[in-house]
Structure 1
Amino acid sequence: MANGDGTAVVNSWNEWDTLREVVVGSADGACYEPTEPGNRPQVRDRPDEPFPTGPKPPEVIAKANEELDRLAEVLESRGIVVRRPAPYDFSQPLRTPHFGVENQYCAVCPRDVMITVGNEIIEATMSRRARYFEYEPYRHLVYEYWESDPRISWTVAPKPTMASAMYREEFWTWPLEERHRRMHQSEFCVTQDEVVFDAADMNRFGRDIVVQESMTTNRAGIRWLKRHLEPRGFRVHPVHFPLDYFPSHIDCTFVPLRTGLILTNPDRPLREDEVALFTENDWKLVEAPEPVLSNSEMPTHCQSSKWLSMNVLSISPTTVICEEQEAPLHDLLTDMGFEVLTVPFRNVFEFGGSLHCATWDIRRDGTAEDLFPRAKYTPLTAGSSR
């Protein structure tokens, strides 16, 4: 089966070409993410107060769902097909031979676990125990796409054990001086012993994939992506933002808006030796304005930073959806020639993301363009330990 224009039912090569079909998350059944070796949630500005456990209150879920539904309506008004995750009971405890957690998390952020790379769907490993089975609400969609078009490939990345040895628990107690000393070593709460990556640490630029090394993606995960994607014609580029002491997911730090233009985080500059990849290939890096909310004003149980302001969703090379209160960002994007659509999304923040996080591209226009023709790239050769 193909679409009317002959393209595959799953087709997305970058973050900005015209969007045709997308999955929007749901807050149904959401729980507070538990404390575990890969995550230490805290009540904002009250670190000594116990973090809530179990299901989120119905009124909190209802407010988030109202905003997610509004996003879906805006997308549909632009002719975009919107799909939603299946119901899932995240209050179920999870036990494996290596670990246990009392509850799971939510299906608000499909971008974290699912990614479309060309005509392939990849399910990420995930880095946190409570998110081990987070792919399940999307499996009915994956099977539908896979069964409907023989051009579609579907890859499940190797699941890590998530045993204690996979984590560096002392990371959470390092003083600032120790973090500063280690910041260029990119050693965070996951070790390098198993393949670990979240899909939201990846940006797609045609045949080039940019991957952030972070608390949720380690060097073994990047190496697995290289080995998997290079034979398919992709180039995988690790990137680092050394002033971010808790890096997790790239889409509040480095956001491509259209060919040649990237929105960057002024608090988290790209490592100096990695800037040339972009500037030498005619990409302009533009700093995002200061968010309207400060970190202290973010929702009490939100574990993300004020830079969720940058977590925008491009639905074409000329149209971007932003959170409705981020007026300075609206003005910047408008001045750069974008049509800016706005939706309220502050109630979604405490579920781990904003507009880009809460969506998963299924189909966009476009093909595997080479947008880095002057890139200096060395493939990962057999036996290499890079």
Structure 2
Amino acid sequence: MASLHSYDEWSTLREVIVGSAENYTSHDRELSFDVFFHENLYRSDWAYPRLAASTPVQDRSWQIKQRYVDELNEDVENLAKVLTSLGVTVHRPLPLLPDTPSIKGLGWEAMPVPALNVRDNTLILGDEIIETPPAMRSRYLETRLIAPVFKAYYDAGARWTTMPRPILTDRSFDLSYARDTETTLGGPTEPISDPQPSTFDVGYEMMLDGAQCLRLGRDLVVNIANENHALAVNWLERHLGDRYRVHRAYRMSDNHIDSMILALRPGVFLARHAGIRDHLPATFRNWDFIIPDEPTSFPTYDDDDLVLTSPYIDLNVLSVSPNMLLCNKACVDLIRKLERSGFDVVPVQHRHRRLFGGGFHCFTLDTVRDGELEDYSR
């Protein structure tokens, strides 16, 4: 295992963690889940009224059809094989066991999910692993499934930091974004407006996912949609000191931005729309923006299938080098546009990205890339 070394999103990839989808069989519907996915729960008219945190765990479970689970596992394992075939060393998390019990916090309980979207709860900055404070109760212990890989990098010299862990009571969450209909695309039919008091309340807490961060060498662009994110960025800024420049992007998305914008190489972004430019620091607004056409290639689902992501999830590509990308093979128009922009595109199958909330960038955590800590803002 090489030393941890990753400063950007595009330089040549040497080592990566690919998530596991084993035993991803259901979604636990409770307040933290609904807050996190509220922007994309378009079909909430049949999924509500919302289930309270006090509802027994077994009654909140939203089952996923087995054939979708089987096909997801096939696609994730194939992703790992493709990366290996390209000369990338692939590490894997521990699998979630089928009989894993629920997670119990101070006043809440949730069923865990496997470490599939490994980008979310960790931020790699150079030689440092930073475990970020999770916003979903079901994912509270998810990084423990990746801990053996983290420990191996730590033993090889990496720094390993954990941001303050939230208690995650109902009143830990800033719900203003979920209530603001002018800035959201959809949302629940019943407003999330009834957080229950708890003995353990401490007010708003830090919450932040690594997928809210765009790594551009010395510059780190972080999406902030609520007070939870702002508190976490304050901590991050203090922790990083003058090693990085932290830029706040306000309400680029409700949470993650890697289906809004990705840096494909110095000078080139892949972005959902041209307006994303206005969210970036001025020095990066003159980069070229590749804007894809409206995506259309998705499976048809039944009324009892919970769709969690926007149609733009396939912007979630993974850079293997400044000239090579992994892209969903179903996105023929996007592949052609990327090829016309000078990229070699490796098409890889990923069928049910809208049911499991992630694409190739989400499923991976790059731990070793060739790039150094460069200043691209000059």
TM-score by length of 2: 0.83
- Cα pair distance change 1:364/1:179, threshold 3 Å: closer
Match of 2:135 in 1: 127
Partner of 2:269 in structure 1?
A: 262
1:333 is paired with a residue of what secondary structure? Answer: helix
Query: 2:87 aligns to what SS in structure 1?
Result: coil
Distance in 2 between residues matched to 1:342 and 1:10, nearest whole Å:
28
Residues 239, 271 of structure 1: 8 Å contact kept: no
Counterpart in the other structure of 1:315: 320
Query: Which residue does 1:30 correspond to in 2?
Result: 24
Deviations for 1:274-318, whole angstroms, at most 9, x for unmatched residues?
452312xx4222322211247987993230111111000000000
Alignment of 1:239-254 (within 5 A): 239-241=249-251, 244=253, 247-254=254-261
CA deviation profile, 1:166-210 (whole Å, cap 9, x unmatched): 1245765x3735869xxxxxxx99998322101110111111111
Deviation at 1:332, TM superposition (A): 1.0
Q: Where do 5+ consecutive residues of structure 1 fail to align?
A: 4-8, 181-187, 374-386
State which drifts further: 27-36 or 303-312. 27-36
Task: Provide, for residues 71-100 of structure 1, a one-character-per-residue CA deviation record: whole Å limited to 9, x for no partner.
Answer: 111111111111111022475212122422
What does residue 13 of structure 1 align with? 7
What is the CA-CA distance between 1:212 and the residue it aligns to? 0.8
Change (3 A) 1:178 1:253: closer
Identity of aligned residues (%): 29
- Asked whether the equivalents of residues 95 and 114 of structure 2 are also in contact (C-alpha less than 8 Å), the reply is no
Q: Is the contact made by 2:117 and 2:358 (CA closer than 8 Å) also made in structure 1?
A: yes
Q: Which amino acid aligns with 1:222?
A: V
1:60: Cα distance to partner? 2.7
Structure 1 residue 130 displacement after superposition: 1.1
Is 1:214 matched with 2:225? yes
What value does the CA root-mean-square deviation take over the aligned residues?
3.0
How big is the shift at 1:347? 2.5
Q: 2:292 aligns with which of 288, 291, 314?
A: 288
Structure 1 position 100 matched with structure 2 position 106: no
Partner of 2:170: 164
* Distance in 2 of aligned mates of 1:216 and 1:339: 40
CA distance in 2, matches of 1:354, 1:10: 23
Select between 111-120 and 33-42 the one with higher mean Cα deviation.
Answer: 33-42
SS in structure 1 of the partner of residue 283 of structure 2? helix
Q: Quick one: distance in 2 between partners of 1:108 and 1:65? A: 10
Check the 8 A contact 1:278/1:284 in 2, yes or no.
Answer: no
How many angstroms apart in 1 are the aligned matches of 2:205 and 2:281?
29
TM-score by length of 1: 0.82
Cα shift readout 1:44-67 (whole Å, capped 9, x = no counterpart)? 636324697166454332211100
Contact 1:33/1:104 (8 A) holds in 2: no
**Kept after mapping to 2: 8 A contact 1:18/1:316:** yes
Aligned length: 349
Q: Does the CA contact (< 8 Å) of 1:30 and 1:55 recur in 2?
A: no
The answer on whether the counterparts of 1:37 and 1:167 sit within 8 Å (CA) in structure 2 is: no
Pick closer, same or farther for the CA change 1:178–1:350 going to 2, 3 Å. closer
Alpha carbons of structure 1 residues 177 and 118: separation in structure 2 relative to 1, 3 Å: closer
Q: Does structure 1 residue 155 correspond to structure 2 residue 155?
A: no
